[in-house]
Structure 1
Amino acid sequence: MSQLLEVKELSKSFTIHHLNKSMQAVRNIEFSLNEGQFIGIVGKSGSGKSTILKSIYRTYLPEKGSILYSSEKFGLVDLAQLSERDVYYLRKHEIGYVSQFLNVMPRTTARELVEQSVIEMGKSQEEARQAAIEALAHFELDPELWDSYPNTFSGGQKLRLNIACAIVKKPRLLLLDEPTASLDDASKLKVREMLERLKMDGTTLIGIFHDLEFMDGLCDKVYDLQGKKVI
């Protein structure tokens, strides 16, 4: 099993302009994982868990350290140094991201959002149509909502749709930023089933979960942000 990702000495701080001060979000974070592994990140609120994921996804640009990723297209690259164009390609084809929040395009239905995720991968309209039906049905989103605009959805419905859009692409690396935050137990079970299926199919995952019971038996290892060590 080959290594897919290695985070080395990752550090990131933010400038609070109105206070004229700098706040350290994370410092010297180090962990690695192989293809097909699932690592969970734990730590108290405000400890920098999301900052790590956003640095890997390149929403944030780290100020120090490297994020070495074995890309199918580019080979071994440092995500912290990669061009915006290549980062965009990886987001489209190799690296997925799920947060608690859904960024919806105006006047785009739930079904269309999922279909667009599949079409981005180079699949046909018919393949996208079928994949969207399967994903929306799996997450038990009411069929009456499929052709509705998600800005009318509840928080839990938006979250299930967000996960469906990411999972349907079957990314090589999937980043999960508290994907079960506003879900009931039945919906959490659906998410867990899909994550287990993705992992079996070879997807590598990094996840932040406050629900430690959800992580149990799902993650191969856990990175403790306070102790800065892998358990």
Structure 2
Amino acid sequence: MENILTIEHLSKSFTLHNINKHIKAINNVSFFVKEGEFVGITGKSGSGKSTVLRCIYRTYLPQKGHIVYNSKKFGPIDLAHAPERTIIELRKNEIGYVSQFLNVMPRTTARELVKHAILEMGREAEFADRETEKMLDHFELDRSLWDSYPTTFSGGEKLRLNIARAMVKRPRLLLLDEPTASLDHASKIKVKVLIEQLMKEGTTMLGIFHDLEFMQNLCNREYRIQDGQFVSS
């Protein structure tokens, strides 16, 4: 299997101007993810795990380093230096991102959220309707909730909707940013089942979790991060 993602010497820092403080979030991080793998990143809160994922998704722009993603459309491309238009295209069609938070427009239903994800890929409305229903069924979201606003959902329901919205695009690469944080045991089991289904479908995943027990028998490999640097697992 070839690498779908190769990270080289990645560094990101933040300046808190109000207190004149400079914080190094990650420093000289290098690793790789092969196509079809599930790779886990572990570490304490504040160690830099989320910063790594946000640099890959380009929510953050790194100061140094390279993030080479083997795109289906563009071929090998450095996400750290790619044009914004290219990043938007990849988010629409190839790279998904799921966190414990569901940020949505108010008064937008669960059905509309998933349908919009399909429509922005340029598909027709009739196709979007069919795929939306199939995906909401696939992720076991109660049919009585499909036309409800997610603000009323439980944490587990929001998470499943979040994953459904990301997976309806069938991304080649899915980034999971602590999606199980604060969920009860039953909800975590449901999430694990969903992730295993996605792995069987061939999605490559890079995930971070506080719950190390959750990651057992799930990840192919693990990296541990401490004070912004990768250390031996």
- Answer whether TM exceeds 0.5 for this pair: yes
CA–CA distance in 2 between the matches of 1:134 and 1:71?
27
Q: Structure 2: which 5+ residue stretches go unaligned?
A: none
Listed one character per residue, the Cα deviations across residues 148-200 of structure 1 (whole Å, up to 9, x for unaligned) are 11123233322221111112221011000011123333332232222222222
Work out whether residues 13 and 23 of structure 1, in 8 Å CA contact, stay in contact via their aligned partners in 2. Answer: yes
CA pair 148-170 structure 1, distance change in 2 beyond 3 A? same
Work out whether residues 139 and 187 of structure 1, in 8 Å CA contact, stay in contact via their aligned partners in 2. Answer: no
Q: Secondary structure at the match of 1:65?
A: strand
After TM superposition, the score normalised by the length of structure 1 is 0.93
User: Which residue does the alignment assign to 1:94?
Assistant: 94
User: Which residue does the alignment assign to 2:124?
Assistant: 124
Work out whether residues 135 and 168 of structure 1, in 8 Å CA contact, stay in contact via their aligned partners in 2. Answer: yes
Deviation for aligned residue 1:230: 5.8
User: Which residue does the alignment assign to 1:109?
Assistant: 109
User: Which residue does the alignment assign to 1:212?
Assistant: 212
Deviation for aligned residue 1:56: 0.2
Map 1:70-81 onto structure 2 (within 5 A): 70-81=70-81
User: Which residue does the alignment assign to 1:63?
Assistant: 63
Deviation for aligned residue 1:205: 0.5
After TM superposition, the score normalised by the length of structure 2 is 0.93
1:228 corresponds to which of 209, 218, 230: 230
The worse-fitting range, judged by mean Cα deviation, of 217-226 and 119-128 is 119-128
CA–CA distance in 1 between the matches of 2:4 and 2:118?
23
Work out whether residues 139 and 194 of structure 2, in 8 Å CA contact, stay in contact via their aligned partners in 1. Answer: no
Q: Secondary structure at the match of 2:18?
A: helix
CA–CA distance in 2 between the matches of 1:36 and 1:201?
9
Work out whether residues 139 and 190 of structure 1, in 8 Å CA contact, stay in contact via their aligned partners in 2. Answer: no
User: Which residue does the alignment assign to 1:54?
Assistant: 54
Indicate the RMSD between aligned Cα atoms, in angstroms: 1.7
Work out whether residues 135 and 164 of structure 2, in 8 Å CA contact, stay in contact via their aligned partners in 1. Answer: yes
CA–CA distance in 1 between the matches of 2:220 and 2:148?
38
Deviation for aligned residue 1:117: 1.5
Work out whether residues 5 and 68 of structure 2, in 8 Å CA contact, stay in contact via their aligned partners in 1. Answer: yes
Q: Secondary structure at the match of 1:225?
A: strand
User: Which residue does the alignment assign to 2:191?
Assistant: 191
CA–CA distance in 2 between the matches of 1:123 and 1:112?
14
Work out whether residues 7 and 68 of structure 2, in 8 Å CA contact, stay in contact via their aligned partners in 1. Answer: yes
Query: Matched residues, percent identical?
Result: 61
CA–CA distance in 1 between the matches of 2:196 and 2:158?
21
- The alignment of Structure 1 onto Structure 2 pairs a total of residues equal to 231
CA–CA distance in 2 between the matches of 1:136 and 1:200?
18
Amino acid at match of 1:75: G
The worse-fitting range, judged by mean Cα deviation, of 129-138 and 209-218 is 129-138
User: Which residue does the alignment assign to 1:23?
Assistant: 23
Work out whether residues 31 and 230 of structure 1, in 8 Å CA contact, stay in contact via their aligned partners in 2. Answer: no
Deviation for aligned residue 1:48: 0.6
Amino acid at match of 2:121: M
Q: Secondary structure at the match of 2:180?
A: coil
Amino acid at match of 2:57: Y
